[in-house]
Structure 1
Amino acid sequence: MTLVALTVTAALAGGCSRSDEGGDDPASSAAAGPSSPAPLGPFFGECGSVSDDEVRSAFAVSALPMVWRNSVGCVWEAAGPTGPSVSFSWYRGSPIGREAAGSGLIGRPAEQIEIAGHSGFMGQADGLCEIGVQYDQDFFHWSVTYGALPSLAPPCDVARKLAELTASRTK
């Protein structure tokens, strides 16, 4: 065997050996293991724990049907994808900074906000407003746009109201 092969074999065998007591050395196992991940945030509930009627009321548009919902998001929209819409998204274990930076890159500079004692961001431009709120390693995000329809309520007022409802109902 070559010297390199012997060195690799010895290193691998040494890494698999046990202490004299017959168990793993707890100190070396703890030191070698990954650090504890930051805690995940609370349960926000389906659609941010906000009902369809509450979304329509905040948005001030009575004909705003639910288009889809799943375990991490909901979308209400009228007149197709270019019409008025509201969306909720829940990001589990995802950095809010990336979302805030993305908002700025597409023309909605992120402004720092706080809702229910949690930091977040608000981005707005061209009749669209989005709000993201951080909870530990998670965040939720509301987006509101009236599309071609004249705004019946300021989009950021609607997004903030929905974000405050979600924050007040987290578990």
Structure 2
Amino acid sequence: MYSNVLISELTRHAKTTPSAFISLIICLIFTAWSVYVSKNLWILLMSIPFILGLTLIPIKISNMNKKISDELLPEYVDVSKEYKISEITKESLNNRVKIVGKLDKVIYGISTKPTIRVSDETGKIFSNLISPVPDGIKKGDMIELYGIVAKNYKFFGIIGIPNLWAPKIYGIGVRKSN
């Protein structure tokens, strides 16, 4: 039973943090190659902390972010005002929002925090979530996105040229829409 939980956790980790998983694979390949070429098992012994770090640190960060999301989501469900995407403008900066729409895209990069694109009949918007998309939610599903309106600078992401930004959502949590 314990190994099934560990395998499912590692599988979820590989899916939600592909860059960390690829780094782990590269480290394992170089370690195996180095041990094979040098016939020195000390290389394997010395690489164990790095291998454990590449495995456990992203899992721990992902779990901490999920816990934060789980704690904050009920508060956001109670106080967030529902918006259509076209209603989210520069004037709604820092407002708590709820958006009901279709999950168009999920992008996992180097962070355990995915970027998603949500669309409704009025437009599309990107959201950086603080934790991975919950199990059971996939591309094409109708979702409720809760979060805060933030700046998305054109060309440079979080830093950029003043007045060249569009709204995005800093997502606290996602759940399936009823």
TM-score by length of 1: 0.29
* Larger Rg computed on CA atoms: 1
Which has the larger helix fraction?
A: 2
